[in-house]
Amino acid sequence: MADEKDRKLNAGPAGASTYPGVPPAPTLEKKEGQQPIGATGRAPPLIRSVSQRILVSSPNLRQKLRLAGMNDDPLLFIQQSLVTAGMMSVMFTVLFFFLLQLFKISLVALVVLFPIFFLASFMLRMQYPTSKARKRAREVDRELVFAGRQMLIELKAGVPLFDAMLSISRDYGEISKEFAKIVDRVNAGVPTDVAMHDVAEDNPSMAFKRVILQLINSIRSGSDVAKALGSVLDQISREQITELKAYGQKLNPLGMFYMVFGIIMPSLGIALAIIIFSFLSINLDVTFLYAFLLGVAMVQYIFVTVIESQKPQYEF
C-alpha cells in the first residue's frame, strides 16, 4: 500500500510521462466557446446514427482535418456537415419553388431536386478539408524558399538551429506558423527532431516535409545542417521554376478556349439567335436575354476560376 501511495504522489500532473527522456503526452485543452471533442450528445439520434455510418466509410477524415489545420472531431464535423447540407437544400428548394411557379412548371420536380441539393451540399461540405489543405499547402510553399534562405544564411553565420528557426517564426505567413509550432514544442521540452517530425506530419506541403526531413536526418546523423538545407532548397527552387514554365505553356490553350467560349460564341450566338428567331416569328423576351447573360457570366467565371486555381503561388 505504501509503494502504491508513493507511485501516485510521484505520478505528476495528468499527461506527464513516467519514463525519463520521453516527452509528456499532449493534453487537450478546451478553449472558451469551443465545444469539447466528442461532444455529440445534442445531435438527434438519426443524425448521430447516419454520422457513425459515414465515419466508418471515411477512415481518412481525421487525417484530412489535421492537414487542413482543423481541430474538429470527425464525428462532430460530419454532423455539422449534415445539418449544413439540410439547411442549404431547404434554401435552394424554396428558391426553385418560386422559380417553378414563375415559369409555370410542375412542382413535382421539387421531390427530385431536394435530395440532389442535399447530396451536392453534403459532398461539397465534406470536400472542404481537402480544399483547405490544398490552400494551406500553397501558402506554405509560397514563402518556403525565402524563409529557408534566411535560415540557411543564419546557419552559415554560426547561429544555432533553434535560434534560426525562431527568427523565421514570424514575417513569413503560414510557414512562420509552422516553425512557431516547432519552437513552442522545443520550449516545452520536446526534442528538436521529434518536434519537427510531429509538425511535418500535420502539414500538407510536400516541399515543407522534404525540408524538415533533411533537417531531421542531419540532426540525427550529426552532419552539416546548412549543407543539407541548401541542397534541398536548390532542388525545390528548380522545381518551382519548372512549374511556372509549365503554367505559362498552359495559358495558351486556356486563353484560346476563353476567347472562343467566353467572347466569340456568346456575341455571335445572340446575333444568330435574333436572326433565326425573327424568321421563325418567335419573340425574344427579356427573360431569355437575362438567362443568356447569366450563362455567359457563369462560363467566364468558370474559366477565370480554372486559370486562377492552376496558377503557382511562387514569386521570384
Predicted confidence at residue 219, as pLDDT, reads 94
How crowded is residue 178: how many other Cβ atoms within 10 Å of its Cβ? 27
Question: Which helix (H) or strand (E) is 27 found in, with range?
Answer: none
DSSP states of 188-215: TT--HHHHHHHHHHT---HHHHHHHHHH
Question: What's the pLDDT score for residue 40?
Answer: 44
The answer to whether 110 and 45 are in contact (CB under 8 A) is no
pLDDT of res. 250: 83
User: Mean pLDDT for each consecutive 10-residue tract of the chain (316 residues)?
Assistant: 41 39 40 40 82 93 94 93 94 89 80 92 95 92 93 95 94 93 95 95 95 95 93 93 87 83 83 82 76 85 83 71
Instruction: For residues 75 and 80, give the distance between their C-alpha atoms in angstroms, rounded to a whole number.
Output: 9
